[in-house]
Amino acid sequence: MPTAPHLVCPAGSLPALKAAVDNGADAVYLGFRNDTNARNFAGLNFDEKALDEGIAYAHRKGKQVLAAINTYAQAGRFADWARSVDLAATHGVDAVIIADPGVLAYATDKHPDLRRHLSVQASATSYEAINFCREQFGIARAVLPRVLTLAQVEQVIKNTEVEIEVFGFGSLCVMNEGRCWLSSYACGESPNTVGACSPAKYVKWEKKDGSMDTRLAGFLIDRYGPDEKAGYPTLCKGRFEVAGETYYAMEEPTSLNIIEMLPEILRIGVRAIKVEGRQRSPTYVAQVTRNLRAAIDAAVSAPETYRVTPEWKAELAKVAEGAQITLGAYNRPWR
């Protein structure tokens, strides 16, 4: 019987944390209310009181809490990132998820017993990069960007002692994580520095003539008809006119969903499967966690006869971005 990978689920709020824990997550990941985490949206994230309550709730049920401190420290403000590491350590999180080598070095020096994970924002796509971070900073796990085929993921796993975590469900990023310039181009602020792709203060919806325009920092991102659902405007998932045609020129709204390839994920030795969505509702978290838990358990108990049930497929389709799912780069025919 293969080893069950940890199911790591998003906690943008205390209710979302509880929803993940109650529906079968092995671990949750969260951020603090500042720009040291890559989901720095108003109304999300944890202050110290909520952090303590969330950790206590998870630990009572035998679950782990991981703190994402995964943006890059800015010149003259390194102390802010150091404080977030100290906060995570002193409040008893089970691991910190870090991208910046300087922040990793600080955590290694100041809190050597605190487990360290390499964030997807570090853009480590090779075992050489991961092994370097293990040698220098003692990382125990690395989260891979969503740009590798399954064969490439397997190659990484075969050549490192570091645990490998991959994304299993949620919105995709057209960029190699940690390398996005689109939001910065439009807004002058990068998700890797201020912690938000398409910051809310630059977002605007305009109703006119039966349609809905969405804009980001003045850029027209999409125009929706009266029967279309208006999504949150991000440059990479907007519809643009190209050579006289209007369509999703860079990336269609869709969600990664790897349940059909779970036996292969288990076979190659993936140690954790991550769900994207700290900006999503507790209902989303509960629904995705519950169905992925059932699918992982089924794949672990009987990988040879594993089949995706219609119920899992239907439930996950309900919360997929654009009501579409994809295997993303995992099933890419080219390399």
For residue 69, give the CATH number of its domain.
3.20.20.70
State whether 67 and 158 are in the same domain.
yes
Contact by Cβ (8 Å): 164, 140: no
Q: Which residues contact 161 (CB under 8 A, 6 or more apart)?
A: 134
Instruction: Give the separation between CA 142 and CA 123, rounded to whole angstroms.
Output: 10
State whether 207 and 72 are in the same domain.
no
Q: Which of helix, strand or coil describes residue 40?
A: coil
Domain hosting residue 259, numbered range: 6-172+254-331
Instruction: Give the separation between CA 294 and CA 317, rounded to whole angstroms.
Output: 16
Q: Which residue has the higher pLDDT, 149 or 94?
A: 94
Q: Convert the pLDDT of each residue in 138-185 to its tens digit.
A: 999 999 998 899 999 999 999 999 999 999 998 877 666 666 777 778
Highest mean pLDDT among 66-70, 175-179, 218-222: 66-70
State whether 242 and 271 are in the same domain.
no
State whether 24 and 108 are in the same domain.
yes
Q: Convert the pLDDT of each residue in 193-202 to its tens digit.
A: 776 778 888 8
The verdict on residue 22 lying in a domain is yes
Q: Tell which of 231, 248, 265 closes a domain.
A: 248
Give the residue ranges of DSSP H helices in 92-217. 101-110, 127-137, 150-158, 182-187
Average pLDDT of the segment spanning 121-132: 95
Element (H, E) at 27: strand 27-30
* Residue 14 binned pLDDT confidence (cut-offs 50, 70, 90): very high
The verdict on residue 139 lying in a domain is yes
State whether 29 and 71 are in the same domain.
yes
The verdict on residue 298 lying in a domain is yes
What is the structure's pLDDT at 334?
53
Give the tokens for residue 21: 């824990």
Domains: count for the chain: 2
The verdict on residue 180 lying in a domain is no
**Closest Cα to residue 284, out of 14, 5, 19?**
19
Name the least confident of 24-33, 78-87, 320-329.
320-329
State whether 168 and 217 are in the same domain.
no
The verdict on residue 63 lying in a domain is yes
The verdict on residue 179 lying in a domain is no
Contacts 24+ apart (CB under 8 A), 290-296: 290/23, 290/24, 290/315, 291/259, 291/315, 291/316, 292/7, 292/24, 292/168, 292/169, 292/259, 292/316, 293/7, 293/23, 293/24, 293/25, 294/24, 295/259, 295/262, 296/4, 296/5, 296/7, 296/262
The reported pTM is: 0.90
Instruction: Give the separation between CA 335 and CA 152, rounded to whole angstroms.
Output: 9
Q: Which residues contact 247 (CB under 8 A, 6 or more apart)?
A: 239, 240
State whether 74 and 131 are in the same domain.
yes
CA angle 241, 246, 251 (to 5 degrees): 95
State whether 229 and 268 are in the same domain.
no
Q: Tell which of 232, 248, 264 closes a domain.
A: 248
Give the tokens for residue 335: 């390399």
State whether 77 and 198 are in the same domain.
no
Which amino acid belongs to residue 241? E
Q: Convert the pLDDT of each residue in 248-277 to its tens digit.
A: 888 777 788 999 999 999 999 999 999 999
What is the structure's pLDDT at 333?
60
**% of the chain beyond a pLDDT of 70:** 95
State whether 70 and 209 are in the same domain.
no
The verdict on residue 57 lying in a domain is yes
Q: What is the DSSP letter of 32?
A: B
Across the beta sheet with 203-208, the strand order is: 203-208, 211-216, 219-224
The verdict on residue 182 lying in a domain is no
Whether 90 has a pLDDT exceeding 90, the answer reads yes
Q: Which residue has the higher pLDDT, 17 or 277?
A: 17
Instruction: Give the separation between CA 303 and CA 305, rounded to whole angstroms.
Output: 6
Instruction: Give the separation between CA 276 and CA 256, rounded to whole angstroms.
Output: 9
Tell whether the torsion through CA atoms of 286, 180, 273 and 68 is positive or negative.
Answer: negative
State whether 242 and 261 are in the same domain.
no
Average pLDDT of the segment spanning 281-310: 96
State whether 80 and 127 are in the same domain.
yes
